[in-house]
Structure 1
Amino acid sequence: MTRIILISVLALISFNSVAKNPVILLSVDGFSQRYLKEYQPKNILALSRKGVIAQGLIPTFPSKTFPNHLSIVTGMYPANHGIIHNNFYNRSLQQYYTKGAAAKNPAWLFAKPIWTIAEQQGIKSAIYFWPESEAKIDGVLPSYYFKYKHNESNLNRINQIVDWLKLPENQRPELIIGYFSTIDDAGHHYGPNSTELAQAVKNFDQLLGQLLDKINQETEFTPNIVLVSDHGMMTVDKQKTLLWKTLFENFTSLNIVNGQTQLFIYEKNQNILNDVRSHLSSLPVKSYFQVFDKSDYPEHWHFNNHNAAVPDMVINALPPTTFIDEHSDNNPGVHGYDPYGQDELTGIFITQGPDVKTGIQINAFENIHVFSLLEKLLEISPSDQVDSQISILSNVINTTKANKLITKSN
């Protein structure tokens, strides 16, 4: 009897002391859900068959790169994590945001990313590029990270991911994050239906296959892989490009930030905003956009958090209209529109690994909920200051992992 009890105790100790499986979060910027069916990337589809695939990953508004990447890793809507667009104004800071600005001033970001939370709970993180991963939030940086270089080869990125997995146990990160922009680049420069885009999808798919092979052959781990994209891509109608400054020739004192698919207006005087609305409604191009102010922002924008970054008025372009100025690139592909009702803007979600179920498909869901899944996979204490809900993805984690989490919580 004593021997049986001892074996049971040792088994329990062993169970609770088993190292967590590493989590690898990969973002493929600009990868539309429709590319899976259209281009049939074999390695991505094979990954989905071995794990869980969603019918789509719904971007937050606006469907731009920085707000959506921060929503994925904070579990919050843009107005709640602070990065509400790729370009905007903050009244409190009295500054205009440009991509990566939080590296110099962390006050731009209101929320903790998953890597900050992990580091604070003793879990090492390693990041090969992610929007604002160079920002020192709460005085904390990832254990390993690289300063962003757009032209860094994708092969270098996957080789580094494998090298991190091969580090000694006391140095090895349990959370690894990677970002790839080549598909987004192709979509912008050549359009979402171009041969160049098709080749970019094929190239990334081959790269993913190399990464999986290297992990299998060169490391002792079977990680949980979470593959996402921030948004899809739409085709621009060059006949519907609006020189935005010409819309406001009678309003020279307005503080307006052009975000290509939105114009953000910062103006306290409601009478002036009323005049702007009246003026815009009289223009011949009024059907190209919608005009909203704080009293009527759509609920799904989640712009009801009236912080210093949320504008007083939003001029929202209707696809395929874009706002341009004399310096704008004349690209055939764009994103940033309100993603609701625009299937082309829906991203991807696929996860596979020892802690997730095999061969199931789930409904499309908002990308903020990826955060709660990452928390569960990493076994870190859940944050109660997020919009993310693990219940949305409750059927993704397999029974063994779920039981372990229950045992740990008790």
Structure 2
Amino acid sequence: MFRSFVHTAAVCSALLLASCASVTDAGSAPEAKAQPERVLLIGLDGLRADALDMYDAPTLEALAERGARAERMIPVMPSKTFVNFYSIATGLYPENHGMTENAPYDREARTGFVNPMSAQDPFWWQGEPIWTTAEREGLTSAIMFWLGSEVAHDGLRPSIWTPYQHDKPYQERVDEVLAWYDAPAEDQPRLAAVYFDRVDSVAHRNGPENEAVAEAVADVDGYVAQLVAGLEARDLLETTNIIIVSDHGMAELSDERIVAVDDWIDFERVYSPHMEGRWGAGAQPYIFLFSEDGDQAAIDEAHDAINASGNEHVMAYKAGEMPDHYHLDHPTRGPDLLVVAEAGWSLVAPSLEQSPRRIIPGNHGYDNMDPVMGATFIAAGPRFDGVGEVAAFENVNVYLMIACALGLDPAETDGDPAEVARVTGGRCPAQ
């Protein structure tokens, strides 16, 4: 409904992709090439799985037509940015990598994640990111703004990394990434990654189906076009696996779709980082509750009150009793009680608010199996060309796809090699 014409450079890049890139038969191994296989991972925050069906994005469409596109990529729970981009990097569920939300609270350490300081504190970042695997095996990695890339893992860092700079112009990001490939061949990154937040920021402010989002999608599509054209100009396109991922989708919110939780939760006996933390109470898609001083009765009472309320727009789950697909029972950062709103609804606690919070037009964090939380996955290159559309899969499989493309011995992950084989058209082994 919001498809529109965008600038000629993106269109030309799309045509270039469709015409010049070689296609390998699905199910066969890539032909040996003089240049080594590479991966360029591009993170587009908040790009919902159906974005290409609603908005004009010729470069992304050309990559999808040439390679593989998922019906949707299933985020981990909660469907938040830090959680999911780190699951993509590590191939692990939150219960195993510790980034259980954008600002996790650790009940054992009795402390919470605070940005930007905690971004460089190894305490918060468990598991092994794909760039650490690459560096351990002697491959150069260059990572710009990917979550978890600012800390050393087992003493290893990406060969090139930089602290997050939210206001760094996108053109500078693109120019810097392409400059990495101007180094001598032996110094060029085999694994590179870059992140763009614009679609998420715009969709929060305007809702997911809005002309402003169409413009944001066209904008990032143009920068992807520059990256593709830059690889082509350097004769690297045919040996590079370009993997486009987002972290989550987006739901439309309304001031009329709110659930007040005060009557069910005694905030004197439990702690909620979302309602009592650094930023105070606010409208939330979910809330974590931790018992104060081991007061399990307070957790049980809140759980029973919510689920007996008859309100069909909210559910509560105790630790160890969450749906199987949540994977949130981290030993020190998983909540004692998880309260989740239906997609498009907001949880509020008026008794804790100093003033009523405005409900933003768009948000995420809801049940990861809900289609509106579906993320984008598009890939083109030696491991993906000719695959076409694939059924939904979990984002914890992306780590194994990258490891396969780079010939790495992967760390232990929660990914499924059979799923990786399916998404790569059999070019990565099922076991």
**TM superposition score category, shorter chain reference:** 0.7 to 0.9
Distance 1:242 1:397 in 2: 43
Cα 1:262/1:109, change in 2 over 3 Å = same
**Equivalence for 1:117:** 133
Aligned-CA RMSD value: 2.5
SS at match of 1:375: helix
**Equivalence for 1:9:** none
SS at match of 2:343: coil
Distance 1:133 1:254 in 2: 33
Listed as ranges, the matches of 1:3-402 within 5 Å are 18-99=34-115, 102-220=118-236, 222=238, 223-242=240-259, 246-247=262-263, 250-258=266-274, 260-267=284-291, 268-281=294-307, 286-303=311-328, 305-324=329-348, 325-326=353-354, 330-340=359-369, 342-383=370-411, 385-397=412-424
User: Residues 93-122 of structure 1: CA distance to partner in whole angstroms, max 9, x if unpaired?
Assistant: 221123555434212122011111111111
Following superposition, the deviation at residue 182 of structure 1 comes to 0.3
Counterpart of 2:379, as a letter, is: T
Counterpart of 2:244, as a letter, is: L
SS at match of 2:287: strand
Cα 1:18/1:349, change in 2 over 3 Å = same
Is the Cα contact below 8 Å between 1:32 and 1:347 reproduced in 2? yes
Following superposition, the deviation at residue 190 of structure 1 comes to 0.9
Q: Using the TM superposition, name which of 318-327 and 186-195 deviates more.
A: 318-327
Distance 1:119 1:142 in 2: 7
Following superposition, the deviation at residue 132 of structure 1 comes to 2.0
Following superposition, the deviation at residue 134 of structure 1 comes to 0.6
Following superposition, the deviation at residue 169 of structure 1 comes to 2.4
Is the Cα contact below 8 Å between 1:21 and 1:221 reproduced in 2? no
Question: Tell me, which stretches of 5 or more residues in structure 1 are unaligned?
Answer: 1-14
Distance 1:59 1:298 in 2: 15
Is the Cα contact below 8 Å between 1:66 and 1:99 reproduced in 2? no
Is the Cα contact below 8 Å between 2:387 and 2:425 reproduced in 1? no
Following superposition, the deviation at residue 368 of structure 1 comes to 0.4
Is the Cα contact below 8 Å between 2:303 and 2:337 reproduced in 1? no
Is the Cα contact below 8 Å between 2:207 and 2:362 reproduced in 1? yes
Distance 1:297 1:194 in 2: 34
- Count how many residue pairs are aligned between Structure 1 and Structure 2: 385
Cα 1:221/1:165, change in 2 over 3 Å = farther
Distance 2:210 2:417 in 1: 37
Is the Cα contact below 8 Å between 1:88 and 1:97 reproduced in 2? yes
Larger-Rg structure: 1
Is the Cα contact below 8 Å between 1:165 and 1:219 reproduced in 2? no
**Equivalence for 1:4:** none
Q: Using the TM superposition, name which of 20-29 and 274-283 deviates more.
A: 274-283
Distance 2:153 2:124 in 1: 10
SS at match of 1:301: coil
Counterpart of 1:300, as a letter, is: H
Following superposition, the deviation at residue 326 of structure 1 comes to 4.6
Following superposition, the deviation at residue 171 of structure 1 comes to 2.2
Q: Using the TM superposition, name which of 218-227 and 69-78 deviates more.
A: 218-227
User: Residues 283-318 of structure 1: CA distance to partner in whole angstroms, max 9, x if unpaired?
Assistant: 68x433111102421111123x44111111111111
Cα 1:253/1:270, change in 2 over 3 Å = closer
Following superposition, the deviation at residue 23 of structure 1 comes to 0.7
Structure 1: 4+ residue segments shifted above 3 A? 15-19, 98-104, 218-222, 241-244, 246-251, 278-284, 324-330, 395-399
User: Residues 322-347 of structure 1: CA distance to partner in whole angstroms, max 9, x if unpaired?
Assistant: 2345575642000000021x212111
